Structure 1
Amino acid sequence: MHISAPTGRRRACAAAVAAVVTCATALAGPGLATADGPPAPAMKLDWSPCVKGSPFDCATAKVPLDHGDPGGRSIDLALVKRKATGPGRRIGTLFFNPGGPGGPGTVQMPQNYESFPREVRERFDIVSWDPRGIGSSTAVNCFADSTQAQAWAASKTAGVPVGEKERAAWIAAYRDLGRRCQQRDPQLLRHVSTTDTARDLEQLRQAVGDPQLTYLGISYGTYLGATYANLFPDKVRAMVLDSNWDPRAWTNDASDAAARLTTMLRLGSDRGAAEVLDEFLRLCGAATTARCPFSAGSPEATRAKFDQLLRRLRTDPVGAWSYGPAVGDVVGSLYSVLPGWADLAGRLQDLWQGRAPQPSALPPAPPVPDPSPYAGEEQPTAVVCGDSPNPRDPDAYPAMEEASAARAGDAGRYWTWATVGCATWPAVAQDTYRGPWNKRTAHPVLVVGTTHDPATPYSGSQAMARELADARLLTHEGYGHTALVNPSSCVQAHESRYLVDGTLPPEGTKCRQDRPPFSSDEPQGAVSAGEGGTANILTSRP
């Protein structure tokens, strides 16, 4: 199951602010003296350089497998930290979750470190971790060795199954995966929920000594943030949620018709991907072949060329590139505009001309002990299937695929099959928070939504802003999945002000992406200030 973009694709992942209104009662931010002093850390984190000469420090935390039984089995969490770079100006710790579920923070935070706003890097230690069940933490790993894992992956086609035979192979493969996982560590499978991870995050906050949490979560990390905010509302100092999941859709609190859909179809990922694919083809067709190699000279001709290519790949593959893998590659490549969209256009043109595309070069590995931990499909599957309801009948998926394809085309087929592993998954999470989502937090939350997002449609960010008790929506008018990896200097300016001293953007604020797809290299980012005031609610300046 691919909830995030494929790993290789993920790796490829200043505007004026209006005058502020200061609250009558100033609240101390992390790193400043308070009347009671910082809480005593619940655990000690022994930080040391991840590898010799690395600017990143690593540590391991031990947390209870079951937070309801703190004296029982414990598990390990792998952590990474980059210290604040501004001498004498440190505010506290910013915790970062890269989404997924299944994103290893020990890898993805170092990869994306330079994407954090400069002032945030100066003022905060930035800490991330591999959530329980993931990566270098105590992980869900259902195979005895890599040979077994590779054989399992080879038992089904990549991307999307086509026809009855391939569908049967997918269903059988995921049934086998669930059986293997149940045999290896059934106890762990019941304790990798978002709620478990939110409780881990609270222990990590205590361990670094911050009185309240400062947090940035992207994609699935927004749902984790919302869960934390409602479990520990008085501990929220500042929280940025970038590219949001509708929490009610995740928990299946929806209409009867929507409740019968998979998680990703309830979230609208199929429609979001279809809309962004349309934009990709429109903008490509309006560009020259120098900027978009797949361009056919007009948006209409480029769309027709794309549809013809996919029909051809169903019956006439180019090497290993048949319809299923090609659709999976297209959907994943829409996540990152630079360089993802131009690279995708090049691969599509190669396939059009009958050449098998060459793999994209990956960026250098980050300076951490394990730059490529095991990240098998059982890890996100364990989180999603244990946490979020999905249809339990594998035979229901072909009909759902056709219904989703009717509303979202090829992207609908991809997102339907993304969670078929849940149909036969053997475990349900023991500890799950399912709402309400409107607990009043100590400080407001900043919600960032991108208007053309292929995984978490803008409607999800609108829903998150409505559900939370006190949230401000900042609109990122751009393309791709998350503003972090598809940046806007305007969004970064607002995030910096908010994280540093709590200044929210005015209501209705809209920011533009710095570099739109297939455009010139000149930055385009700007701000359109909305109406309403801002609130300077955190006093964290030195």
Structure 2
Amino acid sequence: MPPIRRLIASRRRRTAVITALATCSTILTGPNLASAGGAPTPSAPIPRLDWSRCVLGSEFDCATAKVPLDYDDPGGPTIELAVVRRKAADPGRRVGTLFFNPGGPGGPGTVQMPQNYESFPREVRERFDIISWDPRGIGNSTAVNCFGSPEEAADWNAKTPAGFPVGKKERAAFTAAYEELGRRCEQRAPELVRHVSTADTARDLDQLRQAVGDQQLAYYGISYGTYLGATYANLFPGRVRAMVLDGNWDPRAWTNNASDQAAQTASFQRLGSGRSAAKTVNRFLTLCGSTTTARCAFSAGSPEATQNKYDQLLRRLRKDPVGPWTYAGTVAAVVNSLYVVQPGATELADTLQDLWERRVPEPSPLPPPPPVPNPNPYLGEEQSTAIFCGDSPNPRDPGMYHTLAEAAAARSGDTGRFWIWATAGCASWPAVAEDRYRGPWNKPTAHPILVVGNTYDPSTPHSAAQAMAQELADARLLTHEAVGHTALLNPSNCVQAHVSRYLIDGTLPPSGATCRQDTPLFSPPKPSGGVATGGGGTAGIIA
């Protein structure tokens, strides 16, 4: 998922874990394809993955891969990548390995793949080993950590508001906090923060592909993972077997069209996240207002009345927070809750109704952690910041963000402010990635790519999926008429059927195919066996 300032949790958190162990072999790879600068990168040793059960009784295996810190110096310092695997459930019909990146940037795959494993289509789980990893700089891998202790990190977090800053005082504190973070990272991790680019991670992914013995890559990336996939596809186009990009970032927008001039816009502004989030919140309120309070606690009896109730609640929270629930923290929680809408939308409606009645919402019980070691790695703000600030240009003048945020609010409302401030820490970030990849994005790949986009997504707009499909040399767009962030986390049998066939035998959906969400927000459950196929529905739907 995209980087987000600390959120007041929606009623449930959705994360999970793992880590591992391994050594380098002395076998060398062949030359990599052209690097961002156009010259071949020197070869690096293929990592050796010594798999073992993550914990006793777990179905997941763990390993650690060693890779170069700098691929321009493959014999130099190395870093470690924590890797996790779930072997194919039907080994007699195994196709190969499917690599998964859960987004972010900064999503720990060793946490999120075990948690989201059941979201993959059944036939994909049966026929592929599914592997994920914590990208360099993140979590259980060699991680960016700019604090000397957990207490220091907690003290820094306390200096920044939930959601985004409101008012001069909070904006000044926000700016000062990120200036401090930049100084700390320059002092404690000066080399690592320059080598955590998406291009570096794409090269790590190719090393892991070679480590498992696959001739070509099968890959599933969501959110930021789509940008990682597009980068891999253009660095290593001949090595693409199958690639599902779900919840897309427009690569040209993210790189500011590869311009070397100072950025005058923020990354998520260019991506259109604020407008997409506003559209998604409006859809939530429309569907909520179209049903009864028995199905949506926040309903005011009609879409218009429910929208007015929401606007009134936010105005009230600006002057009179409910316990820790401020205006900005609530806006952040609304966006976050609409990532996974079952049960996020119902829980969000309950939260908003509690706030409307001036009650502090009760948090939902956290799900049990997955059966893997270290389910709660350190995931400090500096980890995702290092990746997106190093990759994507943003204004360097801290004062610009307030101006941009207010302009975005005039277009998109409160979510516009939220997404502008999401990259404001880049103003004082001390490093630009040494090996950024900024295009081109249309190198012909060995096999076509499947691009999936939801129509109501609080982070990645459908227009970005359209842009990704157009930018890549050979891609097919599958539209998912659905609310939520990515089709993987908000599934339909129709999408899963198309994804399964594509990953297993390369069959793409028909041009212009559309699927619909199985269970629309606040609708009664379907009878057992009911399937909503939408315009792209086909026979033999994979459950």
Q: TM-score, length-normalised on structure 2?
A: 0.90
Q: Distance in 2 between matches of 1:222 and 1:447?
A: 9
Residue in 1 aligned with 2:72? Answer: 68
**What is the identity, as a one-letter code, of the residue corresponding to 1:375?**
L
The residue correspondences of 1:65-464 to structure 2 (distance < 5 A) are 65-253=69-257, 259-464=263-468
Q: Is the 8 A contact 1:220 1:244 kept in 2?
A: yes
- What do residues 13-61 of structure 1 show as CA deviations (whole Å, max 9, x unaligned)? 9xxxxxxxxxxxxxxxxxxxxxxxxxx9922100000011100000000
Deviation at 1:10, TM superposition (A): 5.9
Contact 2:262/2:393 (CA < 8 Å) preserved in 1?
no
Residues 15 and 112 in structure 2, CA contact (< 8 A), matched pair in contact too: no
Distance 1:477 1:296 in 2: 25
Q: 1:528 aligns with which of 532, 535, 538?
A: 535
In structure 1, what residue type is equivalent to 2:532? G
Judge conservation of contact 1:4–1:99 (CA < 8 Å) in 2. no
For 1:334, the aligned partner's letter is: L
Q: CA deviation at 1:185?
A: 1.0
Q: Once structures 1 and 2 are overlaid, which stretch shifts more, 237-246 or 3-12?
A: 3-12
Separation in 1, partners of 2:193, 2:379: 15
Unaligned runs of 5+ in 1: 14-39, 532-542
One-letter code of the match for 1:123? Answer: R
Aligned partner letter, 1:489: N
Contact 2:193 2:431 (C-alpha < 8 Å) held by counterparts? yes
8 Å CA contact 2:2–2:105 kept in 1: the answer is: no
Where relative contact order (Cα < 8 A, 6+ residues apart) is larger, the structure is 1
Deviation at 1:524, TM superposition (A): 5.2
- Residue aligning to 2:27: none
Query: Could you tell me whether the CA contact under 8 Å between 1:41 and 1:208 is conserved in 2?
Result: no
**How many angstroms apart in 2 are the aligned matches of 1:472 and 1:183?**
45
Letter in 2 for 1:288: T
Q: Supply the AA of the counterpart residue of 2:307.
A: R
Tell me if the contact between 2:262 and 2:395 (Cα under 8 Å) persists in the aligned partners. Answer: no
Q: Indicate the residue corresponding to 2:38 in structure 1.
A: none
The one-letter amino acid of 1:336's match is: V
Displacement after TM superposition at 1:527 (Å): 3.4
The 1-side partners of 2:13 and 2:232 are apart by: 25
Secondary structure of 2:185's match?
A: helix
Tell me how far 1:247 sits from its aligned partner.
Answer: 0.3
RMSD: 2.0
**AA partner of residue 118 (structure 1):** R
2:334 alignment partner AA: V
Q: Separation in 2 of the partners of 1:254 and 1:451?
A: 27
Shift of 1:255: 9.5
Name the SS of the counterpart of 2:59 in structure 1. coil
Contact 1:2 1:377 (C-alpha < 8 Å) held by counterparts: no
Give the 3 Å change call, closer, same or farther, for CA 254–412 of structure 1 in structure 2: farther
Give yes or no for contact 1:41–1:209 (8 Å, CA) kept in 2.
no
Cα 1:257–1:307 change in 2 (3 A) is: farther
Say whether the 8 Å CA contact 1:198–1:228 is kept in structure 2.
yes
Conserved in 2, the CA contact under 8 Å of 1:193 and 1:432? yes
CA contact (8 A) 2:159 2:177 kept: yes
8 Å contact kept, 1:196–1:431: yes
Cα 1:463/1:281, change in 2 over 3 Å:
same
**What SS is found at the alignment partner of 2:49?**
coil
Structure 1 residue aligned with 2:24: none
Letter in 2 for 1:351: L
% of aligned pairs identical? 70
Deviations 1:456-485 (A, max 9, x none): 000000000000000000111111000001
Contact 1:488–1:512 (CA under 8 A) maintained in structure 2: yes
Give the whole-Å Cα distance in 1 for the aligned partners of 2:146 and 2:185.
Answer: 5
Residues 338 and 344 in structure 2, CA contact (< 8 A), matched pair in contact too: yes
> 1:529 Cα deviation (Å)?
3.9
Q: Which amino acid is 1:419 matched to?
A: T
Gaps of 5+ in 2: 17-43, 539-543
Separation (CA, whole Å) in 1 of partners of 2:47 and 2:339: 37
Q: CA deviation digits over 1:339-364, x for unaligned, max 9?
A: 00100110000000010112232211
Show CA shifts across 1:247-303 (max 9, x none): 000100189999511001110000000000110111111111011100011111111
Structure 2 distance, partners of 1:86, 1:137, is 30
1:11 to 2:3 alignment: no
Deviation at 1:2, TM superposition (A): 6.1
Alignment partner, residue 506 of structure 1: 510
Counterpart contact for 1:12–1:362, Cα < 8 Å = no
Letter in 2 for 1:3: P
SS of structure 2 residue aligned to 1:372:
coil
Cα deviation, 1:516-541, whole Å, max 9, x if unaligned, reads: 1111111552131499xxxxxxxxxx
Tell me, yes or no, if the aligned pair for 1:4 and 1:101 is still in contact at 8 Å: no
**Structure 1: how far apart are the matches of 2:13 and 2:448?**
29
Contact 2:494 2:536 in 1 (8 A): no
Q: Is the 8 A contact 1:494 1:504 kept in 2?
A: yes
**Separation of aligned partners in 2, 1:43 and 1:185:** 24
CA distance in 2, matches of 1:198, 1:293: 44
